[in-house]
Structure 1
Amino acid sequence: MGLLSRPTNTRKMVASLVPVAQMIVDILHAKSGKTLTSLSLSQDATVIDVKKAYKKIRGKSLKDDQKLKDIGLSKDGQLYFKDLGPQVGWTTVFLTEYAGPLVIYLCFYARPAIIYGVVDEPKAEVVNIACGCWTFHYAKRLLETMFVHRFSHTTMPILNIFKNSIYYWGFAAFVAYFINHPLYTPPAFGDAQVYGGLAGFVLCELGNFSVHIALRNLRPPGTKERRIPFPTSNPLTGLFSLVSCPNYTYEFGSWLSFSIMTQSLPALVFTIAGFYQMAVWARGKHRNYVKEFKNYPRRRMPILPFLL
């Protein structure tokens, strides 16, 4: 559930101000047929113009800690209630979407005979290392969800738990099937490629954890205060000088290193898909930082230093 602020606007008030070549458009609720508001629009307006005008009339969602005087309600006013539908806690969503990939991958690794049939060949060393990396990553995510992360919002739409789980669980099965397959071929450049990729993976995982700790310490317990993140005494947080979301930068680096280490195309597809989504999130967070803080460092990029 949520609250929206918006100015009072009736059809009668709008009609009295309508100039020539304009029209009144009623916006109705799809199920109840109830009139939500009336818009004054040009006859040449497009559908996107209608959407923008309606969004402007509706106002914006209000945060739980906003004061009434800060949203223009110094005297009498109106707040509009919006039902956001069934919700579920962020912690529940993250625990579900991260536990699945851990269990699924371990099933492919520990019980290959069930999936591939009789397996006589011993596993290549890189397969064991890959399983260790995958287990470490998702165990880390589960522990961070329980003990490190502080969420700005307590809930999200319940549909997200299914959507996110399909993404993570599906990719876990896709990657695990090929890396643990009896016909899997180790990397072309041998130990140099395997251990080079492993080193990159470990470094990026430590960097990601360091950034999460820095972000946690940035917000005092029990508050929703927002501050500009800067590098700390931990050198792995130095990426804050170049990007707004170094946790995503390190996350991308981890899976790129994993893909190189295993020389796995499915792992690379997972990496690219993850990078695309993280880039979208990073750009959104970067825009919010720039908008909220007038002194925000202008040379920072959202996720990739000097590029994106």
Structure 2
Amino acid sequence: FVNMCLQVFLIECIGPLVIYLLFYFRLPLIYAPKYEFTASKHLVVHIACVCHSFHYMKRILETLFVHRFSHGTMPLRNIFKNCSYHWCFAAWMAYYINHPLYTPPYYGEKQVKAALAVFLFCQLGSFSIHMALRNLKLPGCKIKKIPYPTKNPFTWIFALVSCPNYTYELGSWLGFTLMTQCVPVLFFTVVGFIQMTVWAKGKHRSYLKEFKEYPTLRSTILPFIL
């Protein structure tokens, strides 16, 4: 590993990916013995597994090949704090979504399709923002620049918010919440939104402090709202 930040991000992403799959495949000791290694009869359960796995595989690949970490070290306690947060929430939501008694969304297939569209749109948006931020700063260059929209339509949201990566992340989890209609997922989304808002406000203040010409109309994370 190049630095501690990379280790922490990889560990906190690999954990939820593996944990969720343990519940999806219904390994022994998780549910009643008669359900061991059985598959759910609901299509949404399988779609949710693909989406959850895709999200964390995307984060792992972005950590390895896209993100550039500005801080080379991270307190050891952050590993336990970050992993506890992501791993426990992954187990909590996976337990209920993959439970043999799980009930599909109220509006059925239409709700799942709409939620899937939101999820995929925001995942593409998230990747586009991360690539735009990567291209903004060359390796070894300490000169900071203001992020602006590029030719990629997914980056046009830069005209409205300072941290669109968090905006798209929130959208992804809202889509996943709508898809699964599961309380633990909703709770995870709300907690994540609160934390991302704190980070986004810090980044927004940093932009305003560093750049006198920073666009004053930009919101922090939600256009025209927050």
TM-score bin (small chain)? over 0.9
Which of the numbers 179, 201, 215 marks the counterpart of 1:261?
179
2:16 maps to a residue whose letter is P
- The answer to whether the 8 Å contact 2:96/2:102 transfers is yes
CA distance in 2, matches of 1:95, 1:123: 32
Residue number in structure 1 paired with 2:41: 123
Runs of 4+ in 1 over 4 A off after TM superposition: none
CA distance in 1, matches of 2:142, 2:78: 23
CA distance in 2, matches of 1:307, 1:224: 32
Correspondence 1:80-229 to 2 at 5 A: 89-117=4-32, 118-119=34-35, 122-229=40-147
The alpha-carbon deviation at position 91 of structure 1 amounts to: 0.2
CA distance in 1, matches of 2:39, 2:201: 46
Deviation digits for residues 246-275 of structure 1 (CA, Å, limit 9, x no counterpart): 000000000000000111111000000000
1:105 maps to a residue whose letter is Y
Secondary structure at 2:161's aligned position in 1? Answer: coil
1:96 maps to a residue whose letter is I
- The answer to whether the 8 Å contact 1:232/1:238 transfers is yes
1:303 maps to a residue whose letter is I
Which of the numbers 266, 272, 297 marks the counterpart of 2:190?
272
CA distance in 1, matches of 2:196, 2:220: 10
2:15 maps to a residue whose letter is G
Aligned length: 221
Return the structure number with greater strand share. 1
Secondary structure at 2:74's aligned position in 1? Answer: strand
Return the structure number with greater helix share. 2
TM-score by structure 1 length? 0.70
Secondary structure at 1:114's aligned position in 2? Answer: coil
- The answer to whether the 8 Å contact 2:25/2:39 transfers is no
Q: Give me the identity figure in percent.
A: 62
The alpha-carbon deviation at position 223 of structure 1 amounts to: 2.2
1:154 maps to a residue whose letter is G
2:207 maps to a residue whose letter is Y
- The answer to whether the 8 Å contact 2:40/2:98 transfers is no
Deviation digits for residues 34-74 of structure 1 (CA, Å, limit 9, x no counterpart): xxxxxxxxxxxxxxxxxxxxxxxxxxxxxxxxxxxxxxxxx
The alpha-carbon deviation at position 114 of structure 1 amounts to: 3.4
Which of structures 1 and 2 has the bigger CA Rg?
1
- The answer to whether the 8 Å contact 1:101/1:168 transfers is yes
CA distance in 1, matches of 2:210, 2:135: 20
The alpha-carbon deviation at position 110 of structure 1 amounts to: 1.2
CA distance in 2, matches of 1:122, 1:171: 21
The alpha-carbon deviation at position 225 of structure 1 amounts to: 2.5
CA distance in 2, matches of 1:92, 1:158: 11
Secondary structure at 2:67's aligned position in 1? Answer: coil
CA distance in 2, matches of 1:158, 1:113: 33
TM-score by structure 2 length? 0.95
Q: Which has the higher contact order (CA 8 A, sep 6+)?
A: 2
- The answer to whether the 8 Å contact 1:301/1:307 transfers is yes
